[in-house]
Structure 1
Amino acid sequence: MFFQFASEVNAAKTLMTGDFAKDTIAVSSTLKETITLPKEDKGLSEAEKEAVFLISDYISRYRNRSQVNTSTTFTTMQTALNALSGHYKTFANRPVPENLKERLNKELSKAEKLAARDS
């Protein structure tokens, strides 16, 4: 635990394994499941919170790693993650629009294929 400005702050534990290909596939798969949840789903809010955490965790882990941050896999994944994160931060109470879902599914699937090929 860390104490900052006289309030308790818990350090979040990473969900990333350090294996770029496996992490890319796992994050992509989880995000594709999240964006397909219907807006009436009781677990949607929690799934969206988890998605935002995963996005931040993934980018934090791999953004500064020169072995991966110039790869097509990473840049494709980063594009998708930025789009989804931007939607969640800007339109927190709105469902993901269909055109964004289609784009995300395409980009995340491409990133999965590239990661599987490169591993």
Structure 2
Amino acid sequence: MPKLSPSLPPPPPPPQTMASPTLITPATTPKPLPLIKSRHTATAPTAAAAKAALPSAPQPRRREFLSIASASILSAGLISPVVAPALAASDEEYVKETEEVINKVRSTIGMDKNDPSVADAVATLRETSNSWVAKYRREKALLGRASFRDIYSAINAVSGHYISFGPTVPIPAKRRARILEEVETAEKALLRGR
């Protein structure tokens, strides 16, 4: 047999044969595990025994409870009256600010594309429209109004155009006509109080 150098690893062991299934399978069947019993095995006392064991304390009646509860609810309502939310705006303020937005939309859309102040007008319009939307979008009373719906749609169209194409690209004629129509119907609805 040749001599192995000490730096080489030892050769792998010869392959082993698999054990037969009879060697793996136990000869006896496993014993069933004992049942686990809960610690609380005492039987529950009957209702009569429970009543006899407890000292008899006067139980409040449903009628007494309801009268006390309703009195406390009513007195709490009288002490703290309902206050309108802080963000709610008056109707005159809504009309005034909406007319301001309508005028800015009309003047900005009507500007010539070569006018040097177009970018400033678009920036002012976006600022005004963003503050208008932020203020009135959460007002539940205004969401159903025709004026709110139409001016919101017009603002959305104008802002979308200027965001996508920049402040110097004019609004196409079809889109401009639709925006001006929505602004006009919003203004009419404002005059009618809608």
Q: TM-score, normalised by structure 2?
A: 0.50
In the other structure, the counterpart of 1:115 is 190
Q: Amino acid of the residue matched to residue 91 of structure 1? A: F
- Determine which of 89, 110, 123 is the counterpart of 1:49: 123
**SS state at 1:58 partner:** helix
> Following the alignment from structure 1 to structure 2, what is the Cα–Cα distance between the partners of residues 110 and 22?
16
| Higher fraction of helix | 1
In the other structure, the counterpart of 1:85 is 159
Find out whether 1:58 has 2:135 as its counterpart: no
Find out whether 1:94 has 2:169 as its counterpart: yes
Q: How does 1:17-56 map to 2 (within 5 A)?
A: 19-56=93-130
Q: Amino acid of the residue matched to residue 192 of structure 2? A: R
> Following the alignment from structure 1 to structure 2, what is the Cα–Cα distance between the partners of residues 91 and 70?
31
The count of aligned residue pairs is 104
- Determine which of 172, 180, 187 is the counterpart of 1:105: 180
Q: Amino acid of the residue matched to residue 164 of structure 2? A: T
Identity of aligned residues (%): 26
> Following the alignment from structure 2 to structure 1, what is the Cα–Cα distance between the partners of residues 184 and 100?
11
> Following the alignment from structure 1 to structure 2, what is the Cα–Cα distance between the partners of residues 72 and 107?
10
Determine which structure has more spread, i.e. the larger CA radius of gyration. Answer: 2
Q: Amino acid of the residue matched to residue 118 of structure 2? A: L
In the other structure, the counterpart of 2:147 is 73
Would you identify which runs of 4 or more consecutive aligned residues in structure 1 move more than 3 Å? none
**SS state at 1:64 partner:** coil
> Following the alignment from structure 2 to structure 1, what is the Cα–Cα distance between the partners of residues 178 and 128?
19
Q: Extract unaligned runs of 5+ from structure 2.
A: 1-88
Q: Amino acid of the residue matched to residue 171 of structure 2? A: V
Q: TM-score, normalised by structure 1?
A: 0.80
Of structures 1 and 2, the one scoring higher in RCO (CA 8 A, sep 6+) is: 1
Q: Extract unaligned runs of 5+ from structure 1.
A: 1-15
